[in-house]
């Protein structure tokens, strides 16, 4: 699933990223780490809005596509648009998965899983780290 036709447009040095991000954010976003399950601020957040990349601010998901997968991380059934994310084959941890990265800055968001039987329009679960996202609430009125 590597897609080498898209290149990040928000390019920074790793030193720049270390200055911008907290150590926990850096570990998840730049080193493809994973936050502990059931520890993220957005797992159960009902706020209506857009979920943007915490590193660069690119808008990636809408709250309308968020659903409760009871997996410990915020889950979505689709990105805002396919060109907002990049898919990378991930064979770490002794299994084959599909990593999801921000197409704008190449930061790690989480993984996408399919055919798990969730009653969503896509039967996909974009399992994202809260530390990879920043929720921008829709303005009222």
CA of residue 75 relative to chain centroid, distance:
9
Tokens representing residue 17 in the block: 């990223």
What residues contact residue 2 under an 8 Å CB cut-off, 6+ apart?
A: 87, 88, 89
Of residues 9, 30, 7, the one with CA closest to residue 20? 30
Residue 71 designated active-site:
no
Q: Which of 53, 56, 102, 127 is catalytic?
A: 127
- Please identify every residue annotated as catalytic: 127
């Amino acid at each position: 699933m590597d897609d080498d036709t898209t290149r990040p447009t928000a390019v920074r040095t790793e030193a720049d990223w270390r200055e911008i991000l907290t150590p926990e954010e850096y570990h998840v976003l730049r080193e493809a780490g994973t936050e502990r399950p059931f520890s993220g601020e957005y797992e159960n957040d009902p706020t209506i809005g857009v979920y943007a990349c915490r590193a660069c601010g690119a808008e990636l998901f809408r709250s309308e596509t968020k659903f409760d997968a009871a997996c410990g991380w915020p889950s979505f059934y689709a990105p805002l648009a396919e060109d907002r994310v990049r898919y990378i084959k991930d064979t770490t941890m002794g299994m084959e998965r599909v990593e999801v990265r921000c197409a704008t800055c190449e930061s790690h968001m989480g993984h996408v899983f399919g055919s798990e039987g969730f009653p969503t329009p896509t039967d996909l679960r974009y399992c994202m780290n809260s530390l990879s996202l920043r929720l921008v609430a829709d303005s009222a009125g």
